[in-house]
Amino acid sequence: PKGKVTDSLRLRPVAQHLADLIGRPVPATADCIGLGTTDAFHRMKPGQLLLLENLRFRVEEEENDPEFAAQLAAYGDVYVNDAFGTAHRAPASTVGVAEILPAYAGLLMEREIRNLSKLLEAPRKPFAAIIGGAKVSDKIKVLESLIERVDKLVIGGGMANTFLVAQDYTVGKSLLERDRVEDAAKIMKTAEKRGVELLLPTDVLVAKEVTRGAEHKVVPVKKIPNSWSAVDVGPDSIEAFKEALADCETVLWNGPLGVFEVPTFGEGTREVARMLADRCDEGASVVVGGGDSVAAIEELGLTSRFTHISTGGGASLEFLEGVELPGISVLQDRKTELVA
């Protein structure tokens, strides 16, 4: 809402859904602070809940305004943060409030940290990362971090095109970031130096237009026609990816392997999702992050079979880059204060 009251983003439906889930009333306020909210807060009895209206209706939230944070903090004695998905940002409701009240990680936050930390600290080997999605630029930092940790790296999706160009192939009308070719080349060089098995598509599904119903065919990567776009990894690549992943004990997956929103262009994503779900049943740990990757897995009904599905797109990527997330670091070392 960018700091403006937006009726379609009010939290009343969220309150209703929460009420249905827990079987008790969840009243929602019309504003996250202010007289009406303070009044509703003072009328609360032990055991009751109150859902504050969307915090982002106020600019003070994203600005981490100290006055605003203090008003929010006045509504509680203890603060529990379960918003892992925003942990890479520092708004008033997560960082500002946590600097005022004794602040703790909620159960979801704990699960995210535990599962993602395992990938950084002690992954069972072989450890593979599959990175796909639209752009190299969105994921270059996580690629740079992971290339130092993984045994195998699979690249698919739109970003594979930039890697293909770094290998001197041409990619027709495909999504390409020319200014990232150098970055891709650097990743490939590091892979070679570290002995990381790097898998790029060897064949692709190309389409005349990136739309449903468009004419499409499979071609080897050295024969991508000038006026066509690569929209999915091809069958040979899918086989090679599956074979490389078959013995991996730990897999991180971020980013679909094709334009899966168009079912015809989603075969690579679906095949790998099914294969990884089977690997989980066999005891492997597979963690999936990224809004679109998670949506693809949900569409297939496979969610419950995965070791961990991260609720944070940007947050999980930044976590895996190894940087400290402000929403998490502010929660640390608070136990002593509460006890005191």
Tell me whether residue 28 or residue 320 sits nearer to Mg ion (CB atom).
Answer: 320
Binding of residue 292 to Mg ion (CB under 5 A): yes
User: What is the C-alpha to C-alpha distance for residues 256 and 268, in angstroms, rounded to an integer?
Assistant: 8
- Give the one entry of ligand ADP, Mg ion, none that residue 234 binds, where binding means its C-beta sits below a cut-off of 5 to 8 angstroms depending on kind: none
Burial of 61 (0-12, 13-18, 19+ CB in 10 A): buried
Cβ(202)–Cβ(221) under 8 Å? yes
* Six-digit token string for 59: 């600019």
Cβ(204)–Cβ(232) under 8 Å? yes
Q: 10 Å Cβ neighbour count for 247?
A: 13
Tell me whether residue 267 or residue 292 sits nearer to Mg ion (CB atom).
Answer: 292
Pattern 167-206, binding to ligand ADP, x per CB under 6 A? --------x-------------------------------
Q: Of 3-11, 23-31, 87-95, 253-261, which segment contacts ligand ADP by CB under 6 A?
A: 253-261
The strand pairing partners of 128, in sequence order, are 152, 251
Tell me whether residue 96 or residue 256 sits nearer to ligand ADP (CB atom).
Answer: 256
Binding of residue 133 to ligand ADP (CB under 6 A): yes
Binding of residue 322 to Mg ion (CB under 5 A): no
From 107, 134, 145, select the one nearest 260 (Cα to Cα). Answer: 134
Minimum CB separation from Mg ion for residue 324, in Å?
Answer: 23
Binding of residue 266 to ligand ADP (CB under 6 A): no
* Six-digit token string for 295: 């949506």
Q: Of 4-12, 61-69, 194-202, 284-292, which segment contacts ligand ADP by CB under 6 A?
A: 284-292
Tell me whether residue 123 or residue 312 sits nearer to Mg ion (CB atom).
Answer: 312
DSSP string, 57-108: GSHHHHHT-HHHHHHHHTT-SSEEE--GGGTTS--IIIIIHHTTS-EEE-HH
- Give the one entry of Mg ion, ligand ADP, none that residue 83 binds, where binding means its C-beta sits below a cut-off of 5 to 8 angstroms depending on kind: none
- Give the one entry of Mg ion, ligand ADP, none that residue 258 binds, where binding means its C-beta sits below a cut-off of 5 to 8 angstroms depending on kind: ligand ADP
* Six-digit token string for 264: 């015809």
Can you give the binding site for ligand ADP, defined by CB under 6 A? 133-134, 138, 157-158, 175, 230-231, 254-256, 258-259, 261, 290-293, 313
Can you give the binding site for Mg ion, defined by CB under 5 A? 291-292
